[in-house]
Structure 1
Amino acid sequence: MAIQKNVGALDRAARLVVAAVIAALYFAGSVSGTTAAILGIVAVVFVLTSVVRWCPLYRLLGLRTCGR
């Protein structure tokens, strides 16, 4: 059974931009400690959901940002 994609192109781009901003903040030294760890997890999740085009939270909420 294949996973049905639920993340559209604009959503993917936005997630990747947010992940890049988080990475830039981290490498610039603007965030550290627990905040950096939490934001790092968020960034990894955003990148992964962008790559596979599937978001488990969207599935739970019944959302789709891509065409059918």
Structure 2
Amino acid sequence: MKKNMGQKDKLVRVVIAFIIAVLFYYQIISGIIGVALLLFAIAILLTSLFRFSPLYKIIGIDTNKNGN
């Protein structure tokens, strides 16, 4: 599995996931939409952890400029 996500992309995903988690924790977002957004946050957090996005692979995007 070749890394296809750069550092800036990874940082943006982590920040978005953190914001969603905080909003869910303080019940600013709740219900089905809150749970759906929380699952989305988990998904983008996992993709940033592995620096691999299956959607990027399908589309052919590679934001990893270093190649490592």
User: Which category of TM-score, normalised to the shorter sequence, fits these structures?
Assistant: over 0.9
Cα-to-partner distance string for 1:31-68 (whole Å, 9 max, x where unaligned):
11111111011100111001100000000000011113
Runs of 4+ in 1 over 4 A off after TM superposition: none
Q: Which of 7, 15, 27 matches 2:25?
A: 27
- Separation in 2, partners of 1:24, 1:14: 15
Two-structure CA RMSD over aligned residues (Å): 0.7
1:5 is matched with 3
1:59 aligned residue: 57
Structure 2 spans left out of the alignment, 5+ residues: none
Percent identical residues: 35
Q: What number of residue pairs does the alignment pair up?
A: 66
Structure 1: 5+ residue runs without aligned partners? none
**TM-score (ref. length: structure 2):** 0.93
1:9-46 CA-partner distances (Å, limit 9, x unpaired): 00000000000000010011101111111101110011
Structure 1 residues 41-56: aligned runs within 5 Å: 41-56=39-54
One-letter amino acid of the structure 2 residue matched with residue 28 of structure 1: Y
